[in-house]
Amino acid sequence: MPLSAPVARAIRAVPAVSKQDVVVQFDNVRLDYAGKKKRITALDASNFSIRRGEFVAFTGPSGCGKSTILKLISGIIAPSAGSIFISGREIGAMPVRIGISFQNPTLLPWLTVRRNVMMPLRIVPPFKDEFRAKKNSEFLDRANALLAQVGLSKFADHYPWQLSGGMMQRAWICRALIHDPTLLLLDEPFGALDAFTREELWGILQTLFIRHRPTVLLVTHDLNEAAFLADRIFTMTPSPGCISDESAANFARPRNLDLMRTLEFTSLTFRLRDLIADAHRNDRHEVV
C-alpha cells in the first residue's frame, strides 16, 4: 500500500546519517534544465554532508555545477531528483537563515553601505518584526560593529559606487553575516579582485569565520583560496557535474599567508590541480 504524501515526507525527513551536527546533506541530488534540444543534466548523483561550523570549498572547471549547489541550497532552484536536508529537515520545510554572496557585489546602489548591510534584518523573520517594532539602535550597533571588523567604519555612510571593488566585497561579507546565518554561501566572492586585495580579504573572512563560526560553503576556482580557507575541499567533474573527490585541509587556524609556502599546502594544491586537469581532459576527449 503506497504511503500518503505527508507520511512519506515524514519518513524521508529523517536523513540517513542522523547526526545532530550535520547542517547540509545532499542525497542523490540531480538537477536537469531544459537545453535547446534536450534536457541537460547540470548536477548528477551528488552525495555529501557538511557539519556545523565547517568551512567547505567546492572547486572544479567552469560549468561543473559548483554554483548550482549553492542555488539549490538557497532554494533559488529546486532539485530534479533526490533530496536536500538542512539541519535534518528537507529543504523548504522550514526557513533557513542563509547569508549569500556572489561574484559581482550586488549591493543595492540606492542605499548607503550601512543600510545595505542591515538589509537582511528587514527581511529575515526573527529580526524583521523587531525591525518594524522598535527603531533599530541595537541593529545599528550590530552593523557598525561588523563594518568596523572589516575596516569599513569610515565608509558606512557612503554609497556602493563610491567604494572600490575590495571594499564592496567586504561590505558584502558583512551583509551576508549580519543576521547570524546558519549557512554562509559564497559564490566566487573574490573572483573579480586583484591578488593583493584577495589575500587581504582571505584574512578578513578567516577572522570573521573564527569569530562567528557559521557553516561556510565556498565556491571558487582559485585552488590557493580553497586550500587556504577551507577545512574540506570537494573537487567536481564537468557535465554532468558530480563530486569526484574530497580532500581535507587540516591546517591549524588562524592561518597566515606563510602557510602557502609550506610543502603540505603546495602538495595539496597540486593534487587538486591534477584532479581538475584530469577531469577537464576526460571531458575534452568525450567531446572530440
Partner 1 sequence: MTHPLATRLASLAVMLGLFLAWEAFCRFFAINPFVLPKPSEVVMALITRFPALIPHAAQTMTTTMIGFLLGATVGVFLGVVTGISRVAYQIVSPLLVSLSSIPKVALVPIFVMWFGAGSVPAVLTAFISSVFPAVVNVATGVATTEPELEHFMKALQASRGEILWFVNLPRALPYFFASLKVALRPIGASATSFCWQRQISTFRLYLRHWFCSARLASRYTQSLQFSKSDSQRGRIGAMARYSFKAGERHVPTAKSHPNRRVGLLPSSECLRW
- Rounded to an integer, what distance in angstroms lies between the CA atom of residue 208 and that of residue 226? 16
Provide the grid cell at 203.
584574512
| Other CB atoms within 10 A of residue 101 CB | 23
Q: What's the min distance (Å) between Cβ of 97 and partner 1?
A: 8
Q: What's the min distance (Å) between Cβ of 185 and partner 1?
A: 7
- Rounded to an integer, what distance in angstroms lies between the CA atom of residue 115 and that of residue 201? 22
Short-list 285, 283, 229, CA closest to 60: 283
Q: What's the min distance (Å) between Cβ of 41 and partner 1?
A: 22
x/- track of binding to partner 1 for residues 90-129 (CB under 8 A): -----xx-x-x-x-x-x-x-x--------xx-xxxx----
Helix (H) or strand (E) holding 6: helix 5-12
Please give the size of the binding site for partner 1, defined by CB under 8 A: 21
Q: By C-beta, is 98 or 113 nearer to partner 1?
A: 98
- Rounded to an integer, what distance in angstroms lies between the CA atom of residue 192 and that of residue 140? 29
- Rounded to an integer, what distance in angstroms lies between the CA atom of residue 82 and that of residue 26? 8
User: Going by DSSP bridges, is the β-strand pair 22-34/98-101 parallel, antiparallel, or unpaired?
Assistant: unpaired
Q: What's the min distance (Å) between Cβ of 255 and partner 1?
A: 28
Q: By C-beta, is 170 or 179 nearer to partner 1?
A: 179
Residue of 185, 227, 236, 243 interacting with partner 1 (CB under 8 A) = 185
| Other CB atoms within 10 A of residue 151 CB | 12
Q: By C-beta, is 104 or 239 nearer to partner 1?
A: 104
Residue of 66, 71, 170, 232 interacting with partner 1 (CB under 8 A) = 71
Provide the grid cell at 28.
542523490
Q: By C-beta, is 146 or 185 nearer to partner 1?
A: 185
Q: By C-beta, is 75 or 240 nearer to partner 1?
A: 75
Q: Which residues pair with 32 in a beta bridge?
A: 41
x/- track of binding to partner 1 for residues 215-244 (CB under 8 A): ------------------------------
Q: What's the min distance (Å) between Cβ of 111 and partner 1?
A: 8
DSSP for residue 288: -
Site for partner 1 in 154-183 (CB under 8 A): 179
Contact 211, 20 (CB under 8 A): no
Q: What's the min distance (Å) between Cβ of 86 and partner 1?
A: 12
- Rounded to an integer, what distance in angstroms lies between the CA atom of residue 280 and that of residue 192? 23
Dihedral of CA atoms 100, 102, 106, 111 in degrees, nearest 10, equals: 30
Residue of 76, 81, 148, 257 interacting with partner 1 (CB under 8 A) = 76
Give residue 14's identity as a one-letter amino acid code.
Answer: V
Q: By C-beta, is 146 or 275 nearer to partner 1?
A: 146
Q: What's the min distance (Å) between Cβ of 176 and partner 1?
A: 9
What residue ranges bind partner 1 (CB under 8 A)?
A: 71, 74-76, 95-96, 98, 100, 102, 104, 106, 108, 110, 119-120, 122-125, 179, 185
